[in-house]
Structure 1
Amino acid sequence: MEYYKFKKLLVFFIISVIYTGCFKTVSAQEFRHEKLLSFEELNQEKWSKTKGNNLSLSNKHYKNGAYSLCWTWKKAGSITLNKAIGFIPFNPEGEDKAIPSFAVWIYNENPVNDHIKFVFGTDGSDNCHFSFGLNFKGWRAAWVSFERDMQGEPVSSMNMMRIETPESVNKGQLFIDHMFLCHNIDSRHHTPDYQVPFVNKGTTNSWLIQQEASKAVPDIEAEKVITEEQIASFKTIEKRFYDDIVKKQKVDGKYIEKLTKQFQHYNIERKGAQISGLPIWFGRNAELYIPFIDWKEAKGFYDKGGQNVNAYFDFMLKVATAYVNVKDEGHKKQLHSMFMDLYEHMVDQGFAAGSGLGTIHHYGYNWRSYYRALFIMKNVLRSEGRLQEAVEGMQWFAAVGEVFYKPEIYGMDMDAFNTQVMGRLASILIMENSPQKVQCLKCFSRWIDNGLMPAPGLNDAFKIDGSAYHHANNYPAYATGGFTGAVRMVYFMSGTSFKVSKEAHSNLKKALLTMRFYCNKLHWPTTMSGRHPEGRGKLMPDHFAILAKAGSPDGNETVDNELGAAYLRLVDCKKTSFTNEFLQQGIKAETTPQGHISMPYASSSIHRRGEWVASVRGHSRYLWAAEHYIGANLYGRYLAHGQLQIMGFGNPVTANSSGFVQQGWDWNRFPGTTVINLPVADLRADIKNVDQFSGYEEMLFSDEAFAGGVVSGSQNGIYAFILHEHDKYQGSLRARKSYFFFDDKIVCLGSGIENDNKDRPTETTLFQNNLADGDSSLLLNGVVLHDKELEVEGAENWMMDNKGNGYLIPYGNIFFKQGLQESRDESSEKVTKGNFASAVLNHGKAPQNASYSYCVLPGTSSDNIRKAASDPGYKVLCQTKEKHIVYNEGSSEMAYVFFEAADENNVGIIMNTSLPCLAISKINGESLTLNVANPDLALYNGSADEIYKDGKRVERSIYSRPWRSSESQETDLTVELNGAWHSADQKINTVITNEGSTIVTFKCKDGMTQSVDLVRK
């Protein structure tokens, strides 16, 4: 590291390379460190060679710097580097979960069906080895773990590396570059390929399955003859795909000059059968340079020098798009030549079938333009005799073989919908029409269909409740990308022989409509922002329009009217490419959605009235409280401690206009949460790589199963959860929290609040809002608040915040604050400032069995809240640690939260229950409507899946949990009702007891609401 400190890490430099008597300038960003062997110079004394084997430096091919190590042999033998390997065995108890590995790039001019052998040893004795296949032309890489992937037993004393020639080739030449003898690499990321198929054996990582997928054979038999209907389907799908990716543009001489200048940056030249130019890298390769540079530097390392393949593929797409738009034949030929140079240089750099590039994890985000560009240039590739090679390359990177297996479990990684489906489809559509193309597309359609179905457990992508999943939780930020691919797949194949099923189509539609329900109008709540609590996340209206054009799931509508109406509302009927089409078909914008939904797999409930949306979110032993990465959401620990966010203020309504602004935000005070108020520095996430299933990230769980909601007639509902913070931080904090959503009000109750922190206060936040022009006045009992700080004790207080929301506070110590406050940026940690108003209920330090009760009236007026103060329209009938029961007068509903199974309850009609549960009952004369839910997702039985050390829960990643993919288990919930009741529905199991009560049994699953209508007997 001292060497590194006194040398510049990153340098921009000019390399002069002689090509056929001419000097060429290549601008690149290079990494320098003593651990990286870049072969800019050669110390022959460090190397020993058997007879007929020679080493030299060469600028003919290079991957890093200006030179590579050229190994030429004229007879079988080996070369040996005499140097300490630097191997240190992996310590599973250590903080670093990366594993010691060897990394190298090799260039081969002449493919052979054989391999070279890398051997590592100590003082002439061999310790471990691996083989590297040579059946390729161009650059290839390998990341190989010493302990997991190599044969033999590596030891710390290893001090030599020997490379042995292939047995079947008496003479040959290879170029070696960018070598790390031993470097710690994330164990999840080594990628198997044709050269090193044994690497990371058995990986199921969706990014790394190219090698396994390449061996797959379709389980659907190929038809002998392709039908006219299938050919017509190909044409329809290909046209839709082409129209979607090709944008019309003017291509004139100026634009050609611009493209030519960009093209020259890559310095591509041909010399006989060889091609060379600026080295192109997949950005993730720079992760090898960590910890010598930090992750932020590594992330964009190849961008500045224009070497990142993402930009390279984008440029290829630019050239391809220009080619199909240009009218001048001279320019067309120029673009043809330019594209083929780019294509062949790309292949030469290792972006070809069979190549894993060392690592290819999360590559999909960078490959989008690759598939599009090659698909567009199908005819050009065919004319150059490279079409089959292109198809093979596309199908390798798209891992098309994965679709050849009949899926066993519903669902698909959301990243696949986001980054892979377009590429997979393109790599099939680019094939020449044949029975094999039909076979592939049938498999693909089946794979898409399966991926859209409700996935079990915490698997991606779509759930029975409308949640859209990634990272084992509802995650709109990832879902928007996933929707981009999913809606296109359904639309492209709609009305053809390859369309998806009604059920799959319906489930996707439900996920979209659910997103528009919890967003207002476009923005989703901060509770669902994952590791990006910035208040800027929003849905994409085009998703609704594209899926609408696929028709209704049942096929009765050529354009789905419901989705079309949703789209028109989301864009305010503004003129777009879709608006006129929908309006001409008589579709009108929908009215603003109203009602209530529960999302068990998001641990959330959503309530809508008028133009406002209220969302609440908690967490449990199944669903994490917050996601933290290095440089992302460093302070948002309390995001799901029961945050109740109201979005209904502003034009347009957004999270920011409704009060959440990150600059200056007090991370202790998310509305609705119960927390221990800590200094901002103490809130910073201590992010670790806790196991080999995960990276540097933090996603902490409770050990409580009770978290979820119940819905009454799609209009009202309850959400409740048991809060128990993880022991990594304030593990003594506990509370039992409930939210009763009745019409235009939300009754919030808390009981059993306790912790042992005697230094800091425990608070429940009523509101925290940014102060902005156009805000309403802040009121306390009708008096405008001008105080910077104010404490209020007593009963029957009411408040109005500055965003038009009212609060009834029957009791409690209220602390109010307004003015300039200082905080930290969630990503950069820089100091931020902003003007805010906040009010909290102060429970004191180290409270024991504390409680609170308040009611929120969103989007109200001071007159309405004043009236509600004297006649709230609800009654809290029971508020203990075991149960919360509230009666709503307006809807005549009794609402119950039984944190523990009800036992001889005498409030309302429910007497006993077999399990903790939530319920809403409504008696209307001689009839009873009962809605119940078991909020336990029941992904596993028994006590919480926790490991304890010194009496405290140990941090573990969600990805290490064996139950993560488990189906929700069905549970029997029995409810005993006061009085004799029966149902006309024979499927409803009711038993009248000798005492005259009625026992009803419900089959509960997925945390969903179960409803029954009964009549008095």
Structure 2
Amino acid sequence: MKRTRSFPLSKVAILLSSALMAQNAIASLTPTILSFEDNNRPSWINNGLITNKRAINGEHSLLWQWNANEQLVIEKNFTRYDDAEARKLYGSSATQIISFWLYNETPSSFPAKLTLSKGNGEYPRHKDINLNFTGWRNVTLSLENDFKPSVPMQLGKIMLTAPKSGSGNLYLDRVMISIDDSRYQWSDDQVTTRYPVEEIDFNLPSVLPDVSAEEREAVELIKSTFIAEMGAGTNNITNLETSFSRFNINKTNGTIRGRHLITDVQQVPYQPKHLNSIDKADYDQYAILGDSDGDGQKQAGYAKLMLELGKSYNSVSSSADKARIAEMYTLMVEHMFDQGFVDGSALGTTHHWGYSGRWWYLSALLMEEPLREAGLLDKTYRALLWFSREFRDRGFEMEVTPSSTDMDFFNTLSKQNLAMILLNPNEKERVALLHKYSKFLSETIDRNPPAYNDGFRPDGTAWRHKGNYPGYAFPALASLGELTYLMKSEAFGVSTGALDTIKKAMISAWVYTNPYVPLGLVGRHPFTDLQTKSFANGMKTLALSYPSLDKELASIYLQVTEQSRAQSVSIFGEYVDPAKLPEGSWSFNGGAFAIHRVDERMAVFKGYNQDVWSSEIYSKDNRFGRYQSHGSVHVVPRGDAVEHGYQQEGWDWNRNPGATTIHLDLADLESPKSSTLMLRSDDGLSGVTSLEQAHTLFSFKHKAPQNLDRFEPSFVMNKHAIATDKYIYLTGNNISNQDRMHNTETTLFQLAIRSGKGIYINGTRYANATLERTLKSGDWIIDDNNIGYYLVSTDEVKVRRGPQTSKHNKTEAVTNGNFSSAWIDHGTMPDKAKYEYIMVMETNPTEMAQLVQSFKAAPRFVTLQSDNQRQVIRDKQTNLYGYTSFSDVTFNQGYLTSVNKPSQTLLRMDTAKQLMTLSGASMVLNYEKDSNNNPLETSVPAPVELNYTVKGKWVLEQGNAEVVISGDETNVTMISDYGMPNEITLATDSIPMIPLEPSTPVDPDIPMIPLEPSTPVEPEPTPPPSNGGGSGGSSTPFITLALAALAIIRSRR
């Protein structure tokens, strides 16, 4: 790592200079905003009258009564930045813009001309502005990219030249020079930018068939079901009036006024944190179309109120109440239109439109009749169609494209598209579009999307931002379940294949939550409260979307929502038993993680690799999330995460459970990038497999990035874990790096201290708020959640209970908490460090002492072979072997002698039945890639062929593989598709001999631990040992040889 602890004077000078530059950067992000709030026209503009008839910013604007070819001139010097300077100031893709608002009373067929130049008029740059509109319109242009050549760096004059013919009135307000996200300058009917943002074309035939009675009936059923599913609104008109009044909407003499209305993304060019106090006061009077402005300073929820009005309109019985609701709603729509929310108006940008505009679509369906009566329905439909263009090729054109499984579309706009189709005024088009939507959903959902695009993968993972992402997938699942239910019909239903794909993603999510999303899978939102219950209604409606009830989904829904068999009748129309919590093992190589569940506990194994990112880090989200996927192994008790000790306040971001990390200061741990960091590995591997849905094998081969600041490029390691029943055997090797300043650690646990909780060390209980202990191989510990750790062979283990100071992952606010932690300390500059320990997912002191005694006498888990390219692990009690291959390798232990690809293999021998059950999974997803290691745009992962050589002569008993006997060995070829395990069973007439296992005698330096604690503690009840507490029988080399000899003479009957 490039970091120093002391600085020479020259570096101090550089730091001071950098600090001054940082101060300048903050000041430079302050926009220059020109308003017209003084009674007199400002001296910097040559024409116009101050008026309070209309305004965007404050209460006044400038009225320009123009004649042909007249010029409105602003003369003022502006600080100018090129895009490179803008990026340095903003910290992401950025550009400097000019942005202003025009209100036109009478459309003109001729354009006005905008000219930007130096103060003396030199180097003019021109752009036409069409005036073929009425109402407010925004003009936003990049000074660097939307003028050719770019606007001069000495910008001193802004000039608007009137059309070449005619006369009229134009209102000008809120002229702003600012820094904006460079993605946010969109073309519209008024101005052309570098971003055309094409309009939607449904590509329907010119002649459409007549609508059948069956289709018409199905459409009406869809609409009535849709309205019913949105639910009833409030009957309290007073509350609706109060909410309506907050937007200050009034209409006088045909002129409508109200708060200036923007979307959340349209806040960006204002740079709100850098506004001066006068501009901030005006800005805070704006209203937000969506649900939030991000900091609670402005009146938000405009569209949500429209939805609530629509729901109430369909609920109240009083005609007077209906009339008043309709009046409020139509005034809100008229105000939106006046503010520029109309067909042909970009408003600068409506990026992330779904999050802002989603409730408008639904409200329009609910208020179809009042809109029609007010003459606003057609204009509403055309506006919604226009603003949907952001998702033109991701859903609204309903054509399958590489990106048409967009989770944001599914979440925020898939039901909205249905509502818009139902609002289409042409019945033939309406029906044709419903057919097209049904076909589109069926095809785009039921596929493995190409490259790293959003969508549902075959293993049950659900991708957004190029990785499995519950934060986006769960809302999408909720919407899709409801959408498929709405469209259920013979004419417009979604295919069973698509339903099954959604179902698999839902059940997978149920499996990998408990019920909250664990830390390793949260993306950029650590310590989230997201849980399966968030899409429970989608689960229920998806179960009802099948031709007949899907009882598996129905039963899981009952479990998630804690409802009974008796309650199921009113929900599903028949009796359904609630599901039990899932138990067993699952592999998700589409997310580089595995799940192993026992009773109410869930173990999560998480890595990353060439296709799956380690974590998503934004400049203001998950700043310290580098180690989320560093081979973490995390046992999660069921229930509220905070109650089980997982809290953000005081959390040490270096110590995710099970992860091996270099322990850094938070300044060094934070991402070195000012924008997004989603780190994949150029060389690292991570993979999992499961066998018989009972056993898990996980491995993670890490190699740090080589050219990324704050990352130690020499950091490498291999980590492995095998899980069966409630035991997890964990090993690490080749843990190495050249960091001289920071210790390398493997964390066992980190939990916030809670009242009544404590830990056990070798049988002694410690519940005090402070503790410092050092443990060694042979010791054992039980953490505050009753998870046991037996240190088979490790470096020193540090145990600490006490206060911790940290920072919030988003705000960087200092946080504090009291924590109980333990970690293996590999020291600085570790050179091929190793560890070996066993976790018990739930235990008590009596059982743990007995287990440790038993494991020492006859180890249940052993590592038979281990180096940088392979590992062989065995669980003697179940006769289970775990084979990890990081390349084309051979093995000298157990029954496998070779495998040709990076893969994970679990093998269980049943010598009594002379059967071998084998599960193999590829460690690579197998995308076709370009020279930069990115998948080709249309690349769909190809299945990987795994070739095994197995000792002995075997035939295929069950499963799908090619099995060929060759001499005294058998060649097995199987396919692993998208990293999913392929499980087969082989049978033989004669169990082959295998090499003797290396002996693993008890280390004489490790003392046996007495069953009774050496230090008296207050007595407390201890439950009896669990049924799964055995360690397995003794396996000396003599017994192994005897068993092998017995196998030779046994023949299959």
TM-score by length of structure 2 reads: 0.83
Kept in 1: contact 2:104–2:131 (CA 8 A): yes
Give the partner amino acid of 2:402.
I
User: Are residues 902 and 943 of structure 1, via their aligned partners in 2, closer, same or farther at CA, if it must alter by over 3 Å?
Assistant: farther
Equivalent in the alignment of 2:470 = 476
Equivalent in the alignment of 2:230 = 245
* Aligned counterpart in structure 1 of residue 492 of structure 2, from 498, 504, 513: 498
User: Are residues 986 and 63 of structure 1, via their aligned partners in 2, closer, same or farther at CA, if it must alter by over 3 Å?
Assistant: closer
Shift of 1:511: 0.6
CA distance in 1, matches of 2:302, 2:355: 13
User: Are residues 278 and 582 of structure 1, via their aligned partners in 2, closer, same or farther at CA, if it must alter by over 3 Å?
Assistant: closer
CA distance in 2, matches of 1:34, 1:888: 65
What SS does structure 2 have at the residue aligned with 1:325?
A: coil
Equivalent in the alignment of 1:699 = 678
CA distance in 1, matches of 2:336, 2:784: 57
**CA offsets per residue over residues 506-528 of structure 1, 9 Å max, x none?**
110111111111111x2111111
Kept in 2: contact 1:217–1:401 (CA 8 A): no
Kept in 1: contact 2:733–2:867 (CA 8 A): yes
* Aligned counterpart in structure 2 of residue 279 of structure 1, from 253, 257, 260: 260
User: Are residues 34 and 834 of structure 1, via their aligned partners in 2, closer, same or farther at CA, if it must alter by over 3 Å?
Assistant: closer
* Aligned counterpart in structure 2 of residue 464 of structure 1, from 430, 455, 458: 458
What SS does structure 2 have at the residue aligned with 1:588?
A: coil
Q: How do 1:760-909 and structure 2 match up within 5 A?
A: 760-775=742-757, 777-785=758-766, 788-812=770-794, 813-869=796-852, 870-871=854-855, 872-903=859-890, 905-909=891-895
Equivalent in the alignment of 2:995 = none
User: Are residues 59 and 552 of structure 1, via their aligned partners in 2, closer, same or farther at CA, if it must alter by over 3 Å?
Assistant: closer
Kept in 2: contact 1:939–1:964 (CA 8 A): no
Equivalent in the alignment of 1:604 = 593
Equivalent in the alignment of 1:347 = 337
User: Are residues 322 and 987 of structure 1, via their aligned partners in 2, closer, same or farther at CA, if it must alter by over 3 Å?
Assistant: closer
CA distance in 1, matches of 2:415, 2:562: 29
CA distance in 2, matches of 1:300, 1:884: 64
User: Are residues 315 and 551 of structure 1, via their aligned partners in 2, closer, same or farther at CA, if it must alter by over 3 Å?
Assistant: closer
Shift of 1:141: 1.1
User: Are residues 912 and 356 of structure 1, via their aligned partners in 2, closer, same or farther at CA, if it must alter by over 3 Å?
Assistant: same
CA distance in 1, matches of 2:959, 2:806: 60
Equivalent in the alignment of 2:694 = 715
Kept in 2: contact 1:523–1:536 (CA 8 A): yes
Equivalent in the alignment of 1:324 = 314
Kept in 2: contact 1:512–1:544 (CA 8 A): no
Kept in 1: contact 2:907–2:916 (CA 8 A): yes
Kept in 1: contact 2:488–2:545 (CA 8 A): no
CA distance in 2, matches of 1:335, 1:832: 47
User: Are residues 114 and 503 of structure 1, via their aligned partners in 2, closer, same or farther at CA, if it must alter by over 3 Å?
Assistant: farther
Kept in 2: contact 1:770–1:837 (CA 8 A): yes
Equivalent in the alignment of 2:576 = 587
Kept in 1: contact 2:603–2:635 (CA 8 A): yes
Kept in 2: contact 1:710–1:920 (CA 8 A): yes
Shift of 1:343: 1.4
Give the partner amino acid of 1:868.
L
Equivalent in the alignment of 2:6 = none
**CA offsets per residue over residues 272-328 of structure 1, 9 Å max, x none?**
443223322223222112276289999999666656564222222333333333333
Q: How do 1:604-623 and structure 2 match up within 5 A?
A: 604-623=593-612
CA distance in 1, matches of 2:154, 2:805: 54
Kept in 2: contact 1:706–1:899 (CA 8 A): yes
Equivalent in the alignment of 2:1044 = none
User: Are residues 238 and 384 of structure 1, via their aligned partners in 2, closer, same or farther at CA, if it must alter by over 3 Å?
Assistant: same
**CA offsets per residue over residues 942-998 of structure 1, 9 Å max, x none?**
8874xxxxxxxxxxxxxxx565774224433322222333437897334444x5333
What SS does structure 2 have at the residue aligned with 1:212?
A: coil
Give the partner amino acid of 1:239.
S
User: Are residues 405 and 311 of structure 1, via their aligned partners in 2, closer, same or farther at CA, if it must alter by over 3 Å?
Assistant: closer
User: Are residues 663 and 885 of structure 1, via their aligned partners in 2, closer, same or farther at CA, if it must alter by over 3 Å?
Assistant: same
Kept in 2: contact 1:535–1:655 (CA 8 A): no
What SS does structure 1 have at the residue aligned with 2:497?
A: helix
Kept in 2: contact 1:77–1:164 (CA 8 A): yes
Kept in 1: contact 2:103–2:172 (CA 8 A): yes
CA distance in 1, matches of 2:571, 2:314: 30
Shift of 1:479: 1.8
Equivalent in the alignment of 2:415 = 422
**CA offsets per residue over residues 505-552 of structure 1, 9 Å max, x none?**
1110111111111111x21111112222125221226x3444444446
Give the partner amino acid of 1:800.
I
Give the partner amino acid of 2:440.
W
Equivalent in the alignment of 2:897 = 911
CA distance in 2, matches of 1:909, 1:962: 36
Shift of 1:724: 2.5
Give the partner amino acid of 1:1011.
E
Kept in 2: contact 1:979–1:997 (CA 8 A): yes
Shift of 1:397: 2.2
Shift of 1:574: 6.5
CA distance in 2, matches of 1:782, 1:220: 78
CA distance in 1, matches of 2:75, 2:470: 53
What SS does structure 1 have at the residue aligned with 2:827?
A: strand
Q: Which runs of 5+ in 1 are unaligned?
A: 10-30, 49-53, 202-210, 690-696, 946-960
CA distance in 2, matches of 1:828, 1:318: 33
Q: Which runs of 5+ in 2 are unaligned?
A: 1-19, 291-299, 990-1053
* Aligned counterpart in structure 2 of residue 938 of structure 1, from 922, 926, 930: 926
Task: Indicate yes or no: 2:955 matched with 1:973.
Answer: no
Q: How do 1:442-591 and structure 2 match up within 5 A?
A: 442-453=435-446, 454-520=448-514, 522-540=515-533, 543-551=535-543, 555=547, 557=548, 559-573=549-563, 579-582=568-571, 585-591=574-580
Kept in 2: contact 1:548–1:561 (CA 8 A): no
Give the partner amino acid of 2:411.
N
Task: Indicate yes or no: 2:668 matched with 1:682.
Answer: yes
User: Are residues 638 and 116 of structure 1, via their aligned partners in 2, closer, same or farther at CA, if it must alter by over 3 Å?
Assistant: same
Larger mean CA deviation between 488-497 and 106-115 belongs to 106-115
Equivalent in the alignment of 1:950 = none
What SS does structure 2 have at the residue aligned with 1:678?
A: coil
Kept in 2: contact 1:120–1:127 (CA 8 A): yes
Equivalent in the alignment of 2:658 = 672
TM-score by length of structure 1 reads: 0.86
User: Are residues 540 and 964 of structure 1, via their aligned partners in 2, closer, same or farther at CA, if it must alter by over 3 Å?
Assistant: farther
Task: Indicate yes or no: 2:728 matched with 1:746.
Answer: yes
Give the partner amino acid of 1:977.
V
Q: RMSD between aligned alpha carbons?
A: 3.3
Kept in 2: contact 1:460–1:468 (CA 8 A): yes
Larger mean CA deviation between 428-437 and 736-745 belongs to 428-437
Equivalent in the alignment of 2:137 = 140
Give the partner amino acid of 1:511.
A
CA distance in 1, matches of 2:469, 2:974: 30
**CA offsets per residue over residues 689-715 of structure 1, 9 Å max, x none?**
3xxxxxxx3322332341121111222
Shift of 1:569: 1.0
User: Are residues 161 and 448 of structure 1, via their aligned partners in 2, closer, same or farther at CA, if it must alter by over 3 Å?
Assistant: same
Equivalent in the alignment of 1:161 = 158
What SS does structure 2 have at the residue aligned with 1:393?
A: helix
* Aligned counterpart in structure 2 of residue 293 of structure 1, from 259, 274, 293: 274
Quote the sequence identity (%). 26
Give the partner amino acid of 2:876.
E
Kept in 2: contact 1:219–1:404 (CA 8 A): no
Kept in 1: contact 2:101–2:172 (CA 8 A): yes
Equivalent in the alignment of 2:648 = 662
* Aligned counterpart in structure 1 of residue 187 of structure 2, from 189, 192, 201: 192
CA distance in 2, matches of 1:680, 1:152: 44
CA distance in 2, matches of 1:450, 1:800: 51
What SS does structure 2 have at the residue aligned with 1:66?
A: coil
Shift of 1:493: 0.5
Give the partner amino acid of 2:718.
R
